[in-house]
Amino acid sequence: TVLKRMKQGVGKLPPGPTALPLLGNILQLKGKELFRSILKLSEKYGSVFTIYLGSEPVVMLCGYEVLKEALNGDDFAARGSLPLLKRITGDHGVINSNGERWKQLRRFSIVTLNNFGMKKRSIEERIQTEAQFLVEEFRKNKEQPFDPTIFFSRSVSNVICSVVFGDRFDYEDTNFLFLIITLDDLFHILGTVWVQLYSLFPNVMEYLPGPHKKVVKDMDQLKVFIQERVKMHQDTLDPNCPRDFIDCFLIKMDQEKENPLSEFSMENLVTTTFDLFAGGTEITSTTLRFGFLILLKYPEVEEKLHEEIDRVIGQNRCPSIEDRNAMPYTEAVIYEIQRFIDIVPLALPRAATRDIQFRQYVIPKGTTVYTVLSSVLYDPKHYQNPESFDPNHFLDANGCFKRNDAFMPFSSGKRMCLGEGLARMELFLFFTTILQNFDLKSDIDLKEIDVNPETSGFSRVPHPFSFCLLPR
């Protein structure tokens, strides 16, 4: 429809590289380094430009000033097309929906997660408990080198499980391991060329074999798992005492059953639960894993963290969210980790909600828009040494924590990550609890530790590594 409207004379898209018929700019976009190709194009075409994915125009927005302007208001608050996700979740849930459905589900999710303590105690306690389980699990490694990936995935995933399903899982539970492995597969494939092919030619790909087929099948199974949990909740629900997110949704469904415009349906319950689970697990646990790799590389940073933890928290109690106020160095390190690793360089696609006059261009309604978060997190106008890992980016001359508006790993505005509060709490409590209990030791020479990310299409992940944890 965007193309049709453009043929009718609507729109004046920003300039960009010449596109091939049908293939678009695929030759200029290297799958594994998609966002790097985009940054390179922005050097030539400026901070607002158009590329073609197949025959579909996609507008790229780069740099802090441009994103600030674009994300302020409703103009680009719609979700752009994600064909593989659409195949899995349809237009249901919160990540992939738009309009009234998205508004109702997003508002409900935020309010409910808040009631459960997104910024209050009860969630804090859930994370504290999980962090202690993790420490106990780490102790079993007895100072031997190990790959921490699955440890972080299980713990972070368990936090969201306790919020949506009411309880954490045992680390060896087979259902739980199925959830984690399935999600991991999904994220893995999101970074491969298969997703780009699927995005360009969804109809053709439906008929071709490939890993996208397995992911779709696994996701269907994951939804069945959620459906079973919902059924168990229905059988045991006490409307006066909701235990978790699913209970709250069921109560809301009942309250709204006479309202024809209500979006509180079974399909939206299952998909929103899936969205929270998917959004809440992988990115946060990868941030933790990546963060520990960086700390291994910079022992002087680890030492200062230990000093602050010992001074403010000590050894006799577990870290709490309140400690954040008294721990500017730790806060600055966590912010800098998030900035430096730039985990979702292109965020998720957005779409223009109407014909939008943006600077000297007119972007027709429905056009897919990418907000290039990398270009903000690495914006040299806002960070002194963007290419280096340097906690001073978030500290002033007195060692106090210093905010920076160009800190946007969760994006910004009405469609920004709805799990930011939860993620921030998790990062702080997991980092501090682990460092309170252990010293880190690398099993390779520091010079050989590579903190450059392995980029996949959607997210950036650290190179595989192992390390030792020495009890303090």
- Answer yes or no: are the C-beta atoms of 158 and 169 closer than 8 Å: yes
For CA atoms 273, 279, 280, 285, give the dihedral sign: positive
Residue choice 327, 369, 418, 434 for contact with ligand HEM (CB under 6 A)? 418
DSSP 38-90: HHHHHHHH-SEEEEEETTEEEEEEESHHHHHHHHSSSTT-EE---HHHHHHHT
Minimum Å gap between C-beta 152 and ligand HEM is 12
Query: Any contact of residue 186 with ligand HEM (CB under 6 A)?
Result: no
C-alpha distance from residue 276 to each of 59, 157, 159, 281 (Å): 28, 10, 11, 8
Q: Which is nearer to ligand HEM, 66 or 276 (CB)?
A: 276
Q: Which is nearer to ligand HEM, 191 or 442 (CB)?
A: 191
Separation of alpha carbons 391 and 328, rounded Å: 10
Separation of alpha carbons 315 and 445, rounded Å: 30
Residue 417 marked in a binding site: yes
Query: Any contact of residue 164 with ligand HEM (CB under 6 A)?
Result: no
Query: Any contact of residue 422 with ligand HEM (CB under 6 A)?
Result: yes
Q: How many residues of this chain interact with ligand HEM, rule: CB under 6 A?
A: 27
Query: Any contact of residue 415 with ligand HEM (CB under 6 A)?
Result: yes
**Can you tell me which residue has the tokens 């299409």?**
457
Query: Any contact of residue 363 with ligand HEM (CB under 6 A)?
Result: no
Task: Tell which positions 270-299 bind ligand HEM, by CB under 6 A.
Answer: 275-276, 279-280, 283-284, 287
Q: Which residues pair with 79 in a beta bridge?
A: 350
Query: Any contact of residue 417 with ligand HEM (CB under 6 A)?
Result: yes
- Contact string 236-275 vs ligand HEM (x = CB under 6 A): ---------------------------------------x
Q: Which is nearer to ligand HEM, 114 or 141 (CB)?
A: 114
C-alpha distance from residue 423 to each of 95, 312, 391, 419 (Å): 17, 22, 19, 6
- Phi, psi of 409, deg, nearest 5: -65, -20
Residue choice 48, 70, 84, 423 for contact with ligand HEM (CB under 6 A)? 423
Minimum Å gap between C-beta 441 and ligand HEM is 26
Q: Which is nearer to ligand HEM, 205 or 408 (CB)?
A: 408
Q: What is the CA radius of gyration of the chain?
A: 23
Query: Any contact of residue 437 with ligand HEM (CB under 6 A)?
Result: no
- Contact string 81-110 vs ligand HEM (x = CB under 6 A): -------------xx----------x----
- Phi, psi of 244, deg, nearest 5: -165, -175
Q: Which amino acid is at 302?
A: E
Instruction: Give the residue ranges of the annotated binding site for heme.
Output: 417
Instruction: Give the residue ranges of the annotated binding site.
Output: 417
Contacting residues toward ligand HEM, per CB under 6 A: 79, 94-95, 106, 275-276, 279-280, 283-284, 287, 343-344, 347-348, 350, 371, 409-411, 415-419, 422-423
